[in-house]
Each structure stands twice: as C-alpha cells, then as structure tokens.
Amino acid sequence: MKRLFSKKFISVFLVLMALIVTTFVLPCLPAQAAIGDPDCWGVIIGISNYQNISDTWYGADNAEAIYDEISPAWGTNNVQLLTNSEAKKSDILDAIAWLATKATSDDTVLFDFNGHGGSGPYLCTYDSLPYSWSNDISAAELALAFRAVHAGKIIIILDNCFAGNFKDELSANGRVILMGTSPGEIGWEYRSLHHFVYTYYVLQAFDLFSKINSTATAADVDTNNDYVLSAEEISNYADDLTTDFELDDYNPMPQHPTLYDGYAGDLAVLVKFMFKTNTYLPSGTDILTLDGVGYGQTVGPLIWAPGSTHTLSVVDIVAKGTDTRYVFTGWSDGDTETTKTVNYGLFTANYDKEFLLVIESVYANVTGAGWYKSGTTAAYSVIPLIETTDTKHIFTGWSGAATDTSVSGTLEMKTPLTLTANWRNEYLLTINSEYGEPTGAGWYKEGESAAIAVEPVQGIIVRQIFDGWTGSLTDTAATANVNMDAPKVITATWHTDFLQLYILIAVVVVLIAGAIVTVVLVRRHRAKANIV
C-alpha cells in the first residue's frame, strides 16, 4: 500500500502568501463559448512520475483508464488527457481555461484528477516542489479557475489525499463532486488493483454499465435501470466498495469517499443505447440503420455522450424466401414510424411473422390468397361455376392444404400453404342441318366422345341426300363420333336429288301417251266398224 500525499514542510505564512499571489496574478477570465447544441468536454489528469517529489504507482494509469472510458463517447477532440510531465500547474490551469472557451451553459464538463494531494488542500502538479506549495493548485485556485467555466453540468472527480477538503471551496449549483476521501483522510493505491482504490471502483462502475442491462452486475450500477450512468450512481457504487475494501496491516486507516451533489436530478456521464427485435429474424440482414451505419437485429450496448441525438430506422419488411416474411408493426414505445430520433435507452422493434397462402386456379374466381400473420385464420372461397354460351367450368374440389369439395373454408396459418382449386370442363356440341333431325347435340364433359347421326336421305320425290359433315368434323358418314376437347359446331351438308321426280314424270308421260294412243286406236276401230 502507498499513501497518496507528498511530505512537505512549509509554514502557514508561505501558504497564505502563495494563495494571495496566485489569486491576484491570474490572467483575465476567458470569454464564454457561444451557446450551441449540448456537448461534453473533459480534462483528465494523472501523475505517476513527479519531477521533484515521490511518485505514485498508478496515477497516470488511472487517468488513461478514465480517458479510455470517456473519450470514445464524448469524442477525442473534446477530452484532454494530461499525464506526468504534461500535467504541470500551468498545463492544468490552461486546460481548465480551454474548458471555459468550449463549454456552454447546456454542456457537460468533467474534471478528473489522480495524483498526490495536500491537506491545504492542494492538487500536487507534476512540477510540485518539496518545500513549497507555489507550484500546486489550491482549492481556492481551482475554484477560481472553474468560475470561468459556465457549463450547466460540471462533474469533478478527485482521487488524491485530502480530496474531501476541496468540498467547501468547489461546491456550487450544477456541480457534482466525487471525492475519494473524507476531509482529513489520505487515499490509497494498491498493487493488486493496479489503480488507486477509489478510481478502481469508479472504473468498475463504467465497465459494468457497458454490459447488457439485464445482468445483475449492470443493475448494481444503473440502479434505476434508465440506461443513464450518472455521477451520483458512480458515487453510490464506488463509495461503499472503497470504504469496505479490505486493508492489510500496513494500512489500517479506512478511506471514506465523499459526494457533493449540487445538481437538481441526476447528472449524466454516459448513456447507453440497445436495440433488439421481438422475434428472431433471418440472419445476415441489416435490420437497423443507426446514424447511417447498418446493423443486425441485436445492437449494443453502445455508449454515447449524454445529450447526443441519433437517428435510427428499421426495414419495414424482411423476407425469408418467397413465402415467409417479417413485417414491422411498431416500436416498444408505441411509435409506428420506421424512422425515429433517440438519445438513449432500449428500443425493441416489433415484427409480425407472416406466411403466404397461395391459391392456384386456372380461373380467376377464387378469394383468400395473400399474407397472413402466423397463427391467424385465412378464409378462402371459390365461385363454383363459370359459364359461357358454349363452355362450363365446374369446380370439383380442393387439393393441397385442403382436400374437400366445399366452396369455402378456413386454414390456420402456421406455415406457408398452397391450395389448388380443381375444375372439370364441359363443352357444347352444336349440330346444324337444313334437313332432318340430327342427334347428338348437347353438353359433354371434356374428353367424352359424342355420337352423332342423321338420316342420310330426306324426302320422297325430291330427295335431300346427305353429303357429309363440315365445321369441327369432316366426315361423309351419316353416323360418327366426335371427341369433345373443345366447344364444337358441326354442319350437315346436303344435295338435292331429282331422280325420283324424273321417273315419276316419265311414268306419267308414258301413261298419258299410252292413253292417247289407246283413245286414237279405239276411235279408229270404231270408225272401221261403221264403214262395214
């Protein structure tokens, strides 16, 4: 174990003189930066290798670890890291002046110091002197420097001996001050922790916050489960653990961190974003676009700066093959827009799994095909008869997902389904003829054979003689069979036969001629008889 204060011997007179000198020789306060969107600014200081006094083991390591937690979210251009020779008194005061030029009233500022401290109280800078406080920063100097920083939210973390002694000078509205010790206490570093004891648990709070929030360890830090890590929550987590840290015989003195909270509410240090979907979606698909970057269906935790604004959007339909899809229905907060602006939190995109009902039919008189939410009921139906002047399409039943002859029904959509409407066709056979009464006309099932016939001779004296069939059938036989593979029209053709008429006329002529001859002969015979 090692104490974090340096051994100095100086009179009270010199302390007071140094305070007076440094107070009156400070430069004019820098102008406040123009107010803009909320931003975060930080100065993180850690000193292990001092120029003139005893070193610490892990001061610089503390600062680098805090920087690694903060800068990815706050931005490397927004956070200054000063370690060892970079942390002279002038460097630290210049860094605070830089905060004053950058931070506006809406911004958040972090000042973190890790190194030796004096009971004055003082922050021992890199160029601290063994027998003088002139190169150190007193609580009054630090308070004066921060008067120029007009950020509405200021977090100060002091992990040094006598850190609690800074409370009275630094206390102000809008500030939360985390001090690694109570007034008058020294702080400790421990080799097994590789950090100062207090900062070790501060870092542990950061680390646990970045875990998935459903874990018990993360909930120990984010106690209200609001996806915000506040300075107050860091203090709540680290203070008790620091006090309860088991010290060995070399270090019997306990360490009691102190919190000053002058901020109304909780002062956020980091916020967390997480995204998930309510159901498992096909892998390999970018479901979420966050600030222009594509992500899958589970994102986070992502750690952001408080006050930062981000745009996220999700795809409205995710296809899995051609017959299964996932349709966006809204967010867990009730918002149904696919695009939204967020600051932090857990956002769940809700999707309904849908299956496609395909209804196959050669005719467009079926209803019910389409997409259905998994587990819902699909109603389907068919118009069972389609009729034209020469064709009938008659529904005979379903096959596939249903096998019955009902014209309507329902299906539970637990999977993609295909339903087929089956039909039979009937065709009209029309027979035209000027003569006779042909038989065989009428409706036939597709593929049936229709027997047709007609008397081949019509009439007695003037006769109509059947020549053959034309149209859908070409044949000269009076009796024939027709394959009904389509509507058909057949016409019987005839020619007129006068032979019987001619014979009759000839007979009549012969009879008349015979009668005339007979009359003539009779008259001649009678005439001869009279002469005799």
Query: Cα separations (Å) of 254 from 117, 181, 183, 201, 356?
Result: 17, 9, 12, 15, 69
Residues 6+ apart with CB under 8 A from 276: 297, 298, 299, 346, 347, 348, 349
Whether residue 317 lies inside any domain: the answer is yes
- Phi and psi dihedrals of 17, rounded to 5? -65, -40
122 and 47 Cβ atoms separated by less than 8 Å: no
- How long, in residues, is the chain? 532
In a domain, 130, yes or no: yes
CA distances for 101 relative to 17, 97, 98, 263, angstroms: 30, 7, 5, 22
Confirm whether 27 is domain-assigned. Answer: no
Q: What angle do CA 38, 42, 44 make, to 5 degrees?
A: 165
Domain annotation covers residue 20: no
Q: Is residue 140 part of a domain?
A: yes
CATH number of domain containing 237: 3.40.50.1460
Query: Which pLDDT does position 103 carry in this prediction?
Result: 96
Residue 311 and residue 444 in one domain: no
pLDDT digits (tens, 9 = 90+) for 373-425: 999 999 999 999 999 999 999 999 999 999 999 999 999 999 999 999 999 99
The answer as to whether 8 is a domain residue is: no
* Claim to verify: residue 113 and residue 162 sit in the same structural domain: yes
Collapsed DSSP state (helix, strand, coil) of residue 43: strand
Domain assignment present for 340:
yes
Tokens 């007179």 correspond to 13
Query: In terms of domains, do 258 and 326 share one?
Result: no
SS3 for 64-97, per residue?
A: HHHHHHHHHHHCHHHEEEEEHHHCCHHHHHHHHH
Type of residue found at 172: A
Same domain, 495 and 510: no
Judge if 88 and 126 occupy the same domain. Answer: yes
Token pair belonging to 32: 């406040």
pLDDT of residue 38: 84
CB-count exposure of residue 352 (10 Å: 0-12, 13-18, 19+) = middle
Domain span including residue 517: 504-532
What string of pLDDT tens digits covers the 532 residues of the chain? 455 544 443 333 333 444 443 444 333 333 333 344 589 999 999 999 999 999 999 999 999 999 999 999 999 999 999 999 999 999 999 999 999 999 999 999 999 999 999 999 999 999 999 999 999 999 999 999 999 999 999 999 999 999 999 999 999 999 999 999 999 999 999 888 999 999 999 999 999 998 865 555 666 899 999 999 999 999 999 999 999 886 655 555 789 999 999 999 999 999 999 999 999 888 888 899 999 999 888 887 999 999 999 999 999 999 999 999 999 999 999 999 999 999 999 999 999 999 999 999 998 889 999 999 999 999 999 999 999 999 999 999 999 999 999 999 999 999 999 999 999 999 999 999 999 999 999 999 999 999 999 999 998 889 999 999 999 999 999 999 999 999 999 999 999 988 888 888 889 999 998 889 888 888 888 887 777 5
Do residue 146 and residue 176 come from a single domain? Answer: yes
Last residue of one domain, picked from the residues 354, 379, 403: 354
Q: Are 488 and 427 in contact (CB under 8 A)?
A: yes
Same domain, 345 and 494: no
Task: Give how many domains the chain has, as a whole number.
Answer: 4
142 and 82 in a single domain? The answer is yes
Residue-level pLDDT at 330: 97
User: CA Rg, the chain, in Å?
Assistant: 53
Question: Are 171 and 233 in the same domain?
Answer: yes
What helix, strand, coil percent values describe the chain, rounded to 5? 25, 35, 40
Instruction: Indicate the residue among 248, 266, 284 that finishes a domain.
Output: 266
| 302 and 437 inside one domain | no
Q: Are residues 163 and 120 in the same domain?
A: yes
Task: Report if residue 30 sits inside a domain.
Answer: no
Strand boundaries in 139-243, DSSP class E: 153-159, 175-179, 188-190, 195-196, 228-230
What does the pLDDT read at residue 285?
82
Q: What is the model's pLDDT at position 298?
A: 84
**What pLDDT score was predicted for residue 286?**
87
Is 150 found in the same domain as 297? Answer: no
Cα 354 from chain centroid?
Answer: 16
Q: Which amino acid is at 203?
A: L
Q: Which of 214, 233, 266 is the last residue of a domain?
A: 266
pLDDT in tens, 104-130: 999 999 999 999 999 999 999 999 999
